[in-house]
Structure 1
């Protein structure tokens, strides 16, 4: 069984789609018999080695975040620490997540230098016409030059990643997200029968379409007197929503729940009839999957990979405009959905989306990359040189520096002097218990 290191800046106690994906995938890989560790940066007082249920071992490295829980690019400063972890845990595969994670990008470069297989999973869509995306795409082209395989959470995400990082399509796979159906079961008794409740749960930021929501809520409330809104989440756009409610005098029609812990999301969803997603860009959107699993009818913007997630009888898609979204909500309110439909919808989601399936498909990717020969120094230089132009020349110079630093660290921390964590068989035998194969 391969030993896997999941590397990302974004992990618990931060809550989000990427964090949930890493945790759920890791738990199911452990259930299938794999050794999995998480490598992330320190979160406040959460430093050092911690254990989550599974048991899932988490290395909270003493690296300070720069902004949005993303660490400052260090180029080589984190290499000795990550190398020590990879060797100590006898890691076979480094699985990095999310393009904006500095630790993820650096770990792919380190894995190639150490001769360790690497896999990358992309969770978001990025454009090509703004400065931030252009720089990020160029960085991704560099770091993914030596990656053995890449995964997109939707077909749109896969196509976007191939174009941004200029990857060989044969090395990029699609493995959708999933949901734990046991944690998102319907409960029609929690719904108000005298009104229609629309639930919104998301980070209150621009990308999630909160500006659209500010325009949608007043129009819907004016037209449909029996509709109420539940808004869960926090973020910089919360003030805009609160000002709109004060201005339109909708205090009795809109309830703000604040930040909702993921463990309580289901309790909020089952209070609603319709789930409203106003995102301006989404590669998959686990939130609409969780809502559908709780039996809600989903109304969402028709962006990114959203149309791939749910069948047409579970979701109503709209253009990302206020007028179009209001029309879509009006139609959704008129749909008559019985309690039996909610339970049937839950069962269909259970049959299609499961983390066990995601883990099994990910293992197939692991098996493919482990069968590939590891790249030597000259092969890696050839990959970096393929970037062409000044970029290729600069990256090759940086690769030479990385190789020199690897040699220095190897003399400073010899491989044989790093204490390795014994495997399960060794631990059992050391405790005087005979292991039976």
Structure 2
């Protein structure tokens, strides 16, 4: 379940029998939706009942729909799981606000998932959730989609690839200082930069200032389907993020056989073995040193061997199995009523705790009102899509047999 994207709203079916509900809530800025607290309760309740949901799994701390859906699901007595994909600070106003919201959501949660040990530590500190409730389940990569080039690239010209959003958090300002120095030290190095964002102007100004138009190629936004074709044209993948919980882009690059140079931030040091990545502090001088070390390592890098190692290290099947364990643990947790849950919110602060209790009481009363106006028994449950597929397959087989008989 997610919010509407452009004209896309309603129910859509995707591959492997997945169904997506695009709730008709329009985003207002950068695909963010305004918080409504209680307005999403009727539609969330209807979807949960219609689809016979057992566990509601929310993703991302900045998603207002995620927080509201988890709140409504908990009010209705369902098991809830939350996954945090990012790292946040503690000092700025935005982080303080989001940390308090996260504390509210995770005060009454069955289980939580983080994508790295660093992310787990960050989430526990920000929300106050018990570490025993938090599982570390890393991201993965579809190695069948991200394969190396069949032909090994020549090292006569070294190509460094950058694919990321060109924003401050992704270290775009760091690239502005690193690229000219690398080009000065290594005449045979060329850069390919894929991505768009507010910092793109600074990179283009840098290219003009140092006359690097023939050595720095700006691709703009790259569709995910074309990321591999960009990656396999390079030798080194450069990640300059200032904060990162995991970084799937590094996995995709390594699966394509690229040696990675990255800033030593967040959960990045946990992603790859030392012989597949060169880490550096988020400073221009150290980044240049790391690029030089990576260039020296290139003759000993075999893209095909690196790809095979990635197939063993990361698999979405393994992620699914580990996530299923989290769901099983959530289903085994005890079910509590509202009076038992309210004290958990009181631990969120002297005034915030009382406010959170009031919100949950109002949400509970609204849910009981909906139960009276539209009982759950009156909401039609949708049929399972699996048996329908089986019926269609059986019908197709019968048709083929009949055609052969005729």
TM band (smaller chain) = over 0.9
Return the alpha-carbon distance in structure 1 between the equivalents of residues 390 and 168 of structure 2: 56
Deviation at 1:375, TM superposition (A): 1.9
- The answer to whether the 8 Å contact 1:177/1:286 transfers is yes
Secondary structure of 1:320's match? coil
Deviation at 1:403, TM superposition (A): 1.1
- The answer to whether the 8 Å contact 2:61/2:102 transfers is yes
Q: Paired residue for 2:321?
A: 360
Q: Paired residue for 1:259?
A: 221
Return the alpha-carbon distance in structure 1 between the equivalents of residues 102 and 32 of structure 2: 16
Secondary structure of 1:109's match? helix
Secondary structure of 1:150's match? strand
Q: Paired residue for 2:250?
A: 288
Q: Paired residue for 1:6?
A: none
Question: Would you say 1:350 and 2:311 are equivalent positions?
Answer: yes
- Sort the Cα spacing of 1:312 and 1:425 in 2 relative to 1 into closer, same or farther, 3 A: closer
Q: Paired residue for 1:179?
A: 141
Aligned pair partner of 1:239 in 183, 201, 214: 201
- The answer to whether the 8 Å contact 2:240/2:262 transfers is yes
Deviation at 1:213, TM superposition (A): 0.1
Return the alpha-carbon distance in structure 2 between the equivalents of residues 168 and 427 of structure 1: 42
Deviation at 1:344, TM superposition (A): 1.0
Q: Note the 1:8-407 alignment, pairs <5 A.
A: 39-187=1-149, 189=151, 191-337=153-299, 341-407=302-368
- The answer to whether the 8 Å contact 1:175/1:362 transfers is yes
Deviation at 1:428, TM superposition (A): 8.4
Deviation at 1:193, TM superposition (A): 4.0
- The answer to whether the 8 Å contact 1:192/1:271 transfers is no
Return the alpha-carbon distance in structure 2 between the equivalents of residues 426 and 221 of structure 1: 60
Return the alpha-carbon distance in structure 2 between the equivalents of residues 83 and 312 of structure 1: 48
- Sort the Cα spacing of 1:202 and 1:426 in 2 relative to 1 into closer, same or farther, 3 A: closer
Secondary structure of 1:146's match? coil
Deviation at 1:386, TM superposition (A): 2.2
Q: Deviations over 1:82-105 (max 9, x none)?
A: 110010001000000000011111
TM-score calculated relative to the size of structure 2: 0.94
Return the alpha-carbon distance in structure 1 between the equivalents of residues 173 and 386 of structure 2: 56
Return the alpha-carbon distance in structure 1 between the equivalents of residues 226 and 276 of structure 2: 23
- The answer to whether the 8 Å contact 1:70/1:101 transfers is yes
Deviation at 1:192, TM superposition (A): 4.8
Return the alpha-carbon distance in structure 1 between the equivalents of residues 182 and 156 of structure 2: 17
- The answer to whether the 8 Å contact 2:244/2:268 transfers is yes
Q: Paired residue for 1:420?
A: 381
Secondary structure of 2:16's match? coil
- The answer to whether the 8 Å contact 2:75/2:360 transfers is no
Secondary structure of 2:161's match? strand
Q: How many residues align?
A: 393
TM-score calculated relative to the size of structure 1: 0.87
Return the alpha-carbon distance in structure 1 between the equivalents of residues 150 and 300 of structure 2: 9
Return the alpha-carbon distance in structure 1 between the equivalents of residues 377 and 386 of structure 2: 21
Deviation at 1:66, TM superposition (A): 2.5
Unaligned runs of 5+ residues in structure 2 are: 395-406
- The answer to whether the 8 Å contact 2:259/2:298 transfers is no
- The answer to whether the 8 Å contact 1:188/1:270 transfers is no
Deviation at 1:388, TM superposition (A): 3.6
Deviation at 1:194, TM superposition (A): 2.6
Secondary structure of 1:54's match? helix
Deviation at 1:280, TM superposition (A): 0.1
- The answer to whether the 8 Å contact 2:58/2:82 transfers is yes
Secondary structure of 1:121's match? strand
